[in-house]
Amino acid sequence: MVERSVTGCWFLDAGFWILQSSRNHNLAITMESSSAGSSPELTPTTLNIIRLALLAGSAIFGGIAWYLTSSGQMTPSLDEDTASVLRYVFYGLVVAHLLGIFLIRQRADMAEAFAKRAQLLIVGYALAEGLVLFGAVYLFLTGNTILFLGGLLVFLVAFFFLPIQHEAEG
């Protein structure tokens, strides 16, 4: 018997299969929470894990891109004109991201609740991660590491400019 694909993509189909199997075998993922439907409490430790995971995932992706292009396993195939346009797009994104990080810092400093501050910080870290990923894709396409390293630098600026307060406020 041939099973029909749910999504047309083997990776997503595998995810659906795992989800269905867990439901069939009553393997439920539970969250420690006082009421149904609420999310777990966000603490400085979990926020630190989130930002480290964002940085690590981006750095690993860039490391793989660097390894594949520098070892010759993948040949960069982007023409110079397109690469030049992408560099200018990246420079514009750097300015926009730094401005975004500055504005997020201002709003986070005004936030009274730690949960609201944490949400804003996660948005700031995600903005910076996007720039690192843009640089990593540029690295895949051109073999040039400069934009990837620039994205990492912006992420580190976000890391230090959007610090985690270690005491949860009221």
Measured distance CA(43)–CA(167) in Å, rounded:
9
Asked if the model's pLDDT at residue 41 lies above 60, the reply is yes
Cβ atoms of residues 33 and 25 within 8 Å = no
Measured distance CA(9)–CA(87) in Å, rounded:
33
**pLDDT tens profile 5-15:** 545 555 445 55
Give me the amino acid identity at 109: D
Q: Does this model's pTM top 0.95?
A: no
Cβ atoms of residues 125 and 54 within 8 Å = yes
Question: Of 22-36, 40-54, 148-162, which gets the smallest average pLDDT?
Answer: 22-36
**pLDDT tens profile 133-147:** 999 999 999 999 999
Asked if the model's pLDDT at residue 159 lies above 70, the reply is yes
Scanning the structure block, which residue is given the tokens 């843009």?
Answer: 134
pLDDT at 165: 76
Secondary structure letter of residue 72 according to DSSP: T
